[in-house]
């Protein structure tokens, strides 16, 4: 029996060892076809709870359930073989206690096959991060602008411009890194703060509205493709305008159907062609 060499997925330890080295390229992915297209281009795919807004049309990430995250996480894992897959723990599935977080993380890892989970929060979540890591759950932290706390933060404004808030976010990041997180997302903060936090922690930082100095970057795939246009945060660069492309394709299709130009002969099942002799008979 021949054993075919299978491409190996990047591991949590490989990502962790990139601190200060080659930049870590991350994107979000929520569905199998898109994850399949992104897999070879990136190091890490995050099945983010941003799918609440990009896929389900909610106006915040709060309504996402563990079952939704598991369904999308499993689809992304099935479609990929290279990138490290990390799945967000949704709001309410981990904040109550370390034990609750472990039950949620264990379900996510067992039912999706992902290698790691991400959770939001700072010092108050450090005990939970340590609890998970000691039990074999790799954790990506997330500090700064934490969208699950949008109601407490009073909106999606960038953070850490004033000294007290800056010091708080620095303490948050250091606490999560010290608790054993393998990497740390820094979202929507003053650039200098993300820069300083990157220098202070021993694990890679992943910026989104952070700093070019972060060890890696992440964007929401729908933002990058121009598919999510309700609002575009300052930190987004749109690399394509696929929203416009989709609208144009639908417009062309509608026009063709209305004018009888689609379907054409090559799109219909006309049966085997008759030979000239049979037709003449």
Cα separation, 122 vs 143, in Å, equals 6
DSSP track, 248-259: HHHHHHHHHHHT
Helix (H) or strand (E) holding 77: helix 66-78
Residue 28 or 80: which CB sits closer to ligand KIV?
Answer: 28
Quote the least distance from Cβ 12 to ligand KIV, whole Å: 17
Tokens 């009888």 correspond to what residue?
Answer: 260
Residue 28 or 183: which CB sits closer to ligand KIV?
Answer: 28
Q: Phi first, then psi: what are they for 199, rounded to 5°?
A: -70, -25
Q: Phi first, then psi: what are they for 17, rounded to 5°?
A: -75, -5
Quote the least distance from Cβ 26 to ligand KIV, whole Å: 8
Burial group, residue 42, by CB count within 10 angstroms (0-12, 13-18, 19+): buried
Which among 103, 143, 151 has a CA at the least distance from the CA of 124? Answer: 143
| Residue of 124, 187, 241, 244 with catalytic role | 187
Q: Which residues bind ligand KIV (CB under 6 A)?
A: 28, 46, 48-50, 88, 142, 185, 187, 208, 218, 220
Helix (H) or strand (E) holding 218: strand 216-219
Quote the least distance from Cβ 120 to ligand KIV, whole Å: 8
Cα separation, 157 vs 7, in Å, equals 41
Contact call for residues 87 and 73 (beta carbons, < 8 A): yes
Quote the least distance from Cβ 231 to ligand KIV, whole Å: 14
Residue 237 or 276: which CB sits closer to ligand KIV?
Answer: 237
Residue 27 or 109: which CB sits closer to ligand KIV?
Answer: 27
Residue number with the smallest Cβ distance to ligand KIV: 48
Quote the least distance from Cβ 139 to ligand KIV, whole Å: 13
Q: How far is CA 254 from CA 227, 229, 242, in A?
A: 20, 23, 18
Is 187 among the catalytic positions?
yes
Quote the least distance from Cβ 219 to ligand KIV, whole Å: 8
Residue 46 or 74: which CB sits closer to ligand KIV?
Answer: 46
Which among 28, 91, 100, 94 has a CA at the least distance from the CA of 62? Answer: 91
Residue 214 or 269: which CB sits closer to ligand KIV?
Answer: 214
Active site residues: 187
């Amino acid at each position: 029996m021949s054993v075919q060499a299978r491409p190996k997925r990047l591991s949590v330890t490989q990502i962790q060892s990139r601190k200060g080295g080659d930049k870590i390229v991350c994107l979000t992915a929520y569905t199998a076809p898109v994850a399949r297209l992104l897999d070879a281009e990136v190091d890490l795919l995050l099945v983010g709870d941003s799918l609440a807004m990009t896929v389900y049309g909610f106006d915040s990430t709060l309504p996402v359930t563990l079952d939704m995250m598991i369904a999308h996480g499993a689809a992304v894992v099935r479609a990929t073989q290279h990138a490290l897959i990390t799945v967000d723990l949704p709001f309410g599935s981990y904040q109550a206690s370390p034990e609750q977080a472990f039950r949620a993380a264990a379900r996510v890892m067992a039912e999706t096959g992902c290698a790691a989970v991400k959770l939001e929060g700072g010092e108050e979540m450090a005990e939970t991060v340590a609890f998970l890591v000691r039990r074999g759950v790799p954790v990506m932290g997330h500090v700064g602008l934490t969208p699950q706390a949008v109601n407490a933060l009073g909106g999606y404004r960038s953070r850490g411009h004033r000294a007290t808030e800056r010091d708080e976010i620095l303490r948050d990041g250091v606490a999560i890194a010290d608790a054993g997180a393998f990497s740390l997302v820094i979202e929507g903060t003053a650039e200098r703060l993300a820069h300083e936090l990157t220098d202070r922690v021993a694990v890679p930082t992943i910026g989104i509205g952070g700093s070019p100095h972060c060890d890696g970057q992440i964007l929401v795939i729908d933002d990058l493709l121009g598919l999510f246009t309700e609002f575009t945060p300052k930190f987004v660069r749109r690399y394509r305008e696929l929203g416009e492309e989709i609208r144009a394709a639908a417009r062309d299709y509608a026009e063709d159907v209305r004018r009888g130009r689609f379907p054409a002969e090559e799109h219909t099942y006309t049966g085997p062609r008759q030979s000239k002799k049979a037709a003449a008979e």
